[in-house]
Structure 1
């Protein structure tokens, strides 16, 4: 009989996959579950951003910087282990460009960049001529621009499936169509297994990597967390000539939208190309529960704002649109670590729209906490029992 896993990871998106890969690399027997197909939820709705440009100095930026360093190293090691065909994630260190198109936006943009430079981010303020060299099709109506050479992109589904392929190669399991329903416990109160739609799986620990559904799973395990879905939508154009859009380009108001806790709809301009030649146009954010209805008014707003940055897109056909739910934590920080309320219950969630970029360091940090090694970043800001994300703490506040 197959021995019981040391740990079951609930969620086969990029966060769950990164945690599973790092744990299996540390020698643990890992089983990964997902109620759908691997990487078919939030990960499939992502743009593949690995960004430092949109985060101010603080713990999330530190995690993003660690992950930016980790991703290319991790993918290179997996290519050695699995072979090039088994570890292709379309890594592209193409850089980012953040622009202002009004005079009012100049000071906030340059001040934000200056603060990031103080935290070790390369943020180069450039003039209109240099911006035109980087992006020839960009609007001429710029008032300021900052180039972020460290920003990168990968294909999120390929990245997640590569990580899961490594788990399988090391003797782990990945089970699709299995829903995590709760946990079982020993008489001592520690986790003894996970309850699923396919029965109970005995294990030594469980990692809650259920993304937008992490709050539901945490509640079913008796350890409620304030993790909510925050919806976003993206437009996808038909393929364009190579070089039409060369970087990730976004308007300076994107940073404010990311950091906002407002439940109402917010849109900001984000434009970038993929290796296939299509252009992704975003972004929107709103808290509407799990309502997945297509909102044409949101798509029109995304298209209108994109034309403000790239007038060349006016005659480009839209191929499709898609939406997805991001795992939103009220204080805008991921939740990473063991739950002190339930020994053996771990969480890796709350990354919102930054999960692709933060995944590599999240898996590394969770595994370092598990094994007692020196953590790559200070884990305290991401702890599970902070007041902003536990019901007890929020009630007390």
Structure 2
């Protein structure tokens, strides 16, 4: 149990490394339970600022479904307290089916989500055309998941860090070494706490070499402001095979309407490519795929494109818990493309372990032991 009086020389009860959405959510949750937290962030480019901010429940595994549903529910509970600049919207997701095979996937998905208590409804092609007239004609149908949403993650992270300002202190500093509950800063200073939380995405590998994290590069583009084109976040059901389960470079249609009137366009995945530069060929491939679904995109002005890196574990689930070989070092990493979605739930799971309180979900699927240490190889 980490909570308690500070020992002499401690910087805080808990040091959180990383001020993105995961680190912010962990700091917020611990502070809400009376823990004094120091958040160290060196302002490096983070997935929080690079991503789409899509709050979406996926069901590629029971663990993913459980954490996603719980986390999105927590975001909806927070929504009334969030400032307008977080741009939180409960706009729902439409999973688009191009053919009978994908419609069968929509039906399977509806069954899985409905069993978990999520509100979702199948649409025929005509109903889809009526709901989203900007889509190309001839689509087979869709699954609407009404509880999904969007938010502007950088502002949401800042809000979380400020909610309990009396207990959360922020410091701009680069951590260059971690030893259990101690960290060394770039200026040579050592800081100590009752516990350290590593929550800095793909950069966590630099501080903890045994983390099995792979970078998955993604491209995004945002348009100029236009009259509203779509009302849901639109994702192709081909995403299941084209992107999420692919081992090679892939693209899939994923577009949301921002409250500003801009269209936010994704998505792509590249493995073993950690060059932050925009890949014109990959970006072009992604945009052509988007125009297959929304033909009018070709008439719009794209004002900015950029890349980011998802931090993926081998099984797609995050590592949440104490490092098996470094007592005092806790992990909240490996969220891949669901860091914004699952930040709230991940923070609850981590805090429950750190404070020795009941966890809201079964923990085994998220514990670091499944990859780190002898147990992982049994």
TM-score (norm: length of structure 2): 0.92
SS in 1 for 2:350: helix
Query: Hey, what does 2:27 align to over in structure 1?
Result: 20
2:133 is aligned with 1:151: no
Work out the CA distance in 2 between the residues paired with 1:339 and 1:365: 15
Q: CA deviation at 1:33?
A: 1.0
Structure 1 residue 256 corresponds to structure 2 residue 245: no
User: In structure 2, what is the equivalent of residue 179 of structure 1?
Assistant: 174
Q: How far has the Cα of 1:102 moved from its partner?
A: 2.8
Partner in structure 2 of residue 208 of structure 1? 198
Select 2:78's aligned residue among 74, 80, 85. Answer: 74
CA contact 2:177–2:207 (8 Å) conserved in 1: yes
Shift of 1:216: 2.2
How many residue pairs are counted as aligned between the two chains?
A: 370
Displacement after TM superposition at 1:277 (Å): 0.9
CA distance in 2, matches of 1:70, 1:361: 7
Distance 1:258 1:60 in 2: 16
Partner SS state of residue 161, structure 1 = helix
Match 1:123 to one of 116, 120, 123: 120
Report what 2:212 is aligned to.
226
Match of 2:49 among 14, 34, 44: 44
Cα distance in 2 for partners of 1:41, 1:20 equals 17
**Conserved 8 A contact 1:124-1:148:** yes
**Alpha-carbon deviation of 1:104?**
3.4
Q: Please give the alpha-carbon distance, in whole angstroms, between the structure 1 residues aligned to 2:215 and 2:170.
A: 25
* Aligned residues of 2:59 and 2:109 also touching (Cα < 8 A): no
Q: Decide which moves more: 109-118 or 206-215.
A: 109-118
Q: Give the conservation status (yes or no) of the 8 Å contact 2:243–2:268.
A: no
Change (3 A) 1:2 1:153: farther
The CA deviation at 1:261 is 5.6
- Following the alignment from structure 2 to structure 1, what is the Cα–Cα distance between the partners of residues 353 and 75? 19
Show structure 2 runs of 5+ residues with no match.
1-7
2:98 is matched with which residue? Answer: 101
Q: Secondary structure at the match of 2:88?
A: coil
Cα displacement string for residues 87-114 of structure 1 (whole angstroms, at most 9, x for unaligned residues): x411100001011113332223322322
- What residue number does 2:63 align with? 59
- Aligned counterpart for 1:238 among listed residues 224, 232, 251: 224
1:304 paired residue number: 288
Per-residue displacement from partner, 1:180-215 (whole Å, max 9, x unpaired)? 22224xxxxxx3421121321121111010101122
- SS of 1:4's equivalent? strand
Q: Which residue of 2 aligns with 1:188?
A: none
Separation in structure 1 between the aligned mates of residue 319 and residue 243 of structure 2, nearest angstrom: 17
SS at match of 1:385: helix
Moved over 6 A (4+): none
- The Cα RMSD (Å) is 2.0
Q: Does 1:110 align with 2:92?
A: no
With over 3 angstroms needed to count, the CA separation of the structure-2 counterparts of 1:258 and 1:31, relative to structure 1, is farther
2:16–2:198 contact (8 Å) kept in structure 1: yes
> Out of 166, 171, 186, which is 1:197 matched to?
186
Match of 2:137 in 1: 140
Q: CA deviation at 1:279?
A: 0.6
Tell me: CA distance 1:261–1:330, structure 2 relative to 1, closer, same or farther (3 Å): farther
CA distance in 2, matches of 1:251, 1:384: 32
Deviation per CA, 1:216-269: give whole Å up to 9, x if none. 2212xxxx1101211100111111102x1111001111123454261x211111
* 1:391 CA displacement: 6.7
Q: Is 1:357 aligned to residue 335 of structure 2?
A: no
Contact 1:57–1:115 (Cα < 8 Å) also in 2:
no
Change (3 A) 1:288 1:147: same
> Is contact 2:175–2:186 with CA below 8 Å preserved after alignment?
yes
Residues in 2 aligned to 1:35 and 1:393: alpha-carbon distance in whole angstroms = 34
Q: Deviations for 1:138-186, whole angstroms, at most 9, x for unmatched residues? A: 111111211110110001111011011124x12321122x2222224xx
5+ residue gaps, structure 1: 185-190
User: Within 2, Cα distance between the matches of 1:312 and 1:51?
Assistant: 25
